[in-house]
Amino acid sequence: MLLEGKVAVVTGSGPNIGGEICRTLAREGAKIVCVDFLDDRADVAAASVREEGGEAIGFSSDISSPEQVEDLFQRVDEEYGRVDILVNNAAVNNEAGLLDIEYEKWKWVQSVIMDGTMLCSQQAARRMVAQGEGGAIVNTASTTGHRGKAGFIAYSASKGAVLQMTRTMAIQLAPYGIRVNSITPTQTGDNRGTTPGGSTAPRAAKPKNIPLGRWGQPSDQAGAVLFLASPMSAFVTGENINVDGGLLALFPSERGLMET
């Protein structure tokens, strides 16, 4: 197994991508710490891992709080005594643009995505450095962090910051053998309402402007995370993998031709 004996902390482990990441890493032997703001979502993810024969525990934590993040990793210390992998997947959204976004909503989105990514990475990296055995951090970015999208100013800005944090952390942590990378998913076919503050509107059966002609699935994203968390990517750091069916590769003038 690729991750035998490793301990992986996965934030945002609720339905959709996060839960599938937990199960995918567990299938390769990792012990999983499922983290979510809501107790029941973390517990459901952990239970789904155990149902497949894996080992997992669920913890609730507000990752925008330095105190709660410190407490979270202390609990991980007590349970497993180490951290080898961190997946920063937690996110919230607020579908508002510059002219109408409330400052409190702006700060809320940034606190979870930007602050949460930094705080969890800091706690995990400190432990990885002390362990002296390297490690892997995988951040979840977004296509909106690469391209502007009207009405998503807080989310887009925060996800763009995640991409730059990934590069910066990768350079600083490289001497310790700790690799830091990111994935960029596009919307998956069944994620309506799974991100707090996100849209619950029905999704079209077939996507527009995705060259591969289908919505992504949680397993698509989880497979990329597994690659970046495992020895298969031992010489990869500071990189981003677009798991978007070719969306970002599509030339702007071609996008209208992909309408379905």
pLDDT in tens, 16-46: 899 999 999 999 999 999 999 987 999 999 9
> What mean pLDDT is predicted for residues 52-56?
98
244 to 140, 183, 212: CA distances (angstroms)? 12, 9, 9
pLDDT in tens, 109-150: 999 999 999 999 999 999 999 999 999 999 999 999 999 888
Nearest to 1 by CA among 19, 23, 20, 26: 26
CATH homologous superfamily for the domain 7-258: NAD(P)-binding Rossmann-like Domain (3.40.50.720)
Which residue among the candidates 80, 103, 155, 176 is catalytic per the annotation?
155
> What mean pLDDT is predicted for residues 53-82?
98
pLDDT at 197 over 70: no
DSSP secondary structure of 10-67 = EES-STTHHHHHHHHHHHTT-EEEEEESSHHHHHHHHHHHHHTT--EEEEE--TT-HH
pLDDT of residue 39: 79
Give me the residue spans of the domains in the chain: 7-258
pLDDT at 257 over 70: no
pLDDT of residue 260: 39
155 catalytic per annotation: yes
pLDDT of residue 38: 85
pTM: 0.92
156 to 111, 115, 142, 160: CA distances (angstroms)? 13, 15, 8, 6
